[in-house]
Structure 1
């Protein structure tokens, strides 16, 4: 309570939260003990979500949606997948944070707006790579204005890219600050679209195609995040996700990839603040034999084009 500024309205609520906290702590201890003698290298830990039950966490932060059928505003037709390359000359590892083109980790709060954060982050990085200017962009504008999205109830980065193309750009965060709730669209009144994109592209759903794309710029992806509530570090294996899963309920930004002790991983930037995971980031196992990648991470990747 002290560490995360928790103030509960009454004794009953405080007791309920304490019981949930104890259950989560037992789960963390048991699972970490099992993994210490297994090939699963990731760790669980206490964080700001430790007083939430898994059911509550899923209800507040995750939104299950079907993979979108995307129509590109610039052409009026469905956006095609990027051409998959079997060999693209990608480096063995990549971390776009080291190039100074990734804005710091943000916090979406209790609004289900991960899609807007992933989309804005992808545009921020694409713009920085193109111009060497790193600016923080407005997730709130996407929440308020993207009619294909559902505000704090979910959406898709590809739909957000489509809106930015049609709108002629997206505002800076300072000009259209985050409110963690859907409001009236002020895009026309703001008149200050800081960054424009010409189009966007979907990535063929495979590890190779996603790596080739990530070697060029950070990529917005969706995944099944049901079991990362208490993730604390290491390479997330996703063993709780069905092998052939195509369930998606959260969006993040892949900012790079690498390997550790012979195990390949993605570096993903989340939008739950720096107090979650590895200062706001998670490593996710890549180059597996799973049809859709770990927890469906390959199924709905896309990126903006400047």
Structure 2
């Protein structure tokens, strides 16, 4: 049976710099976890289809901590104003996901107001607020496992994956995806890796996964970091 995947709008806004490699040798490092070095906080997206906004907000927030920069991250503004510009229907905004590359491209090109309140859901009538804007310097496509592991050692990366309904209530250290004919598209922030798989920071609160809001997703699960199927990016502030 064909997978039923919620597709986000295909928006060709991002102008990408794609890494090229002269070697296929895997990164020698077998494990890395940003939780060993910085404080990682898991937020909760609630019932809205706002995983992209939460994953991007987490990645920028952690990258700023690593770089010792103070950046206010308005996750609600990301989902409402960047993800759904011009839409004033709160139900439509809450119920519609946003393409990952589109959101990163918008933050790189237009930025977001550094004085935006951290309201969630964010009211659409406040999207036109002025003030100084923070912009991403760049974001780069992840094209291989080696590329991903190298990038993660500098900061978190972002990736789409396919998950089942059971994913959102998962409790445990290693998420093993059950067989299912229906999956949904979900964006996560990846903060490390180990011999089993990728360590993800999810957006379902601290109680999800291993009790820190994180879990290990075995390599190949849900097409995570499979460049032929799902998109993944590193970013630079």
Matched, 1:93 2:62: no
Q: Choose from 147, 156, 176 the match for 2:99.
A: 156
Please list every run of 5 or more consecutive structure 2 residues that lacks an aligned counterpart in the other structure: 86-91
Partner residue, 2:234: 303
Matched, 1:202 2:202: no
* 1:90 CA drift (Å): 5.4
* 1:281 CA drift (Å): 1.1
1:116-265 equivalence runs, <5 A: 116-130=53-67, 132-133=68-69, 135-147=71-83, 151-152=93-94, 153-171=96-114, 175-180=116-121, 183-186=124-127, 188-193=128-133, 195-204=134-143, 206-226=144-164, 227-240=166-179, 249-259=185-195, 264-265=196-197
> Can you list the C-alpha shifts for 1:126-158, whole angstroms capped at 9, x where unaligned?
22223x136551111112222568742101232
Please list every run of 5 or more consecutive structure 1 residues that lacks an aligned counterpart in the other structure: 1-62, 73-77, 287-292
Question: Which shifted more, 247-256 or 78-87?
Answer: 78-87
Secondary structure, aligned partner of 2:167: coil
Partner residue, 1:272: 204
**Cα distance in 2 between the residues matched to 1:110 and 1:210:** 30
Partner residue, 2:88: none
**Cα distance in 2 between the residues matched to 1:137 and 1:128:** 12
Q: Is the Cα–Cα contact under 8 Å of residues 120 and 139 in structure 1 kept in the other structure?
A: yes
TM-score normalised over the length of structure 1 = 0.62
Q: Is the Cα–Cα contact under 8 Å of residues 103 and 135 in structure 1 kept in the other structure?
A: no
Query: Kindly tell me: are residues 272 and 190 of structure 1, through their superposed partners in 2, closer, same or farther at Cα, counting changes over 3 Å?
Result: farther
Query: Kindly tell me: are residues 136 and 189 of structure 1, through their superposed partners in 2, closer, same or farther at Cα, counting changes over 3 Å?
Result: closer
Task: State how many pairs are aligned.
Answer: 219
* 1:234 CA drift (Å): 2.8
Partner residue, 2:214: 281
* 1:192 CA drift (Å): 4.0
**Cα distance in 1 between the residues matched to 2:82 and 2:139:** 16
TM-score normalised over the length of structure 2 = 0.78
The structure number with the bigger radius of gyration is 1
Structure possessing the higher relative contact order (Cα contacts under 8 Å, 6 or more residues apart): 2
**Cα distance in 1 between the residues matched to 2:150 and 2:124:** 38
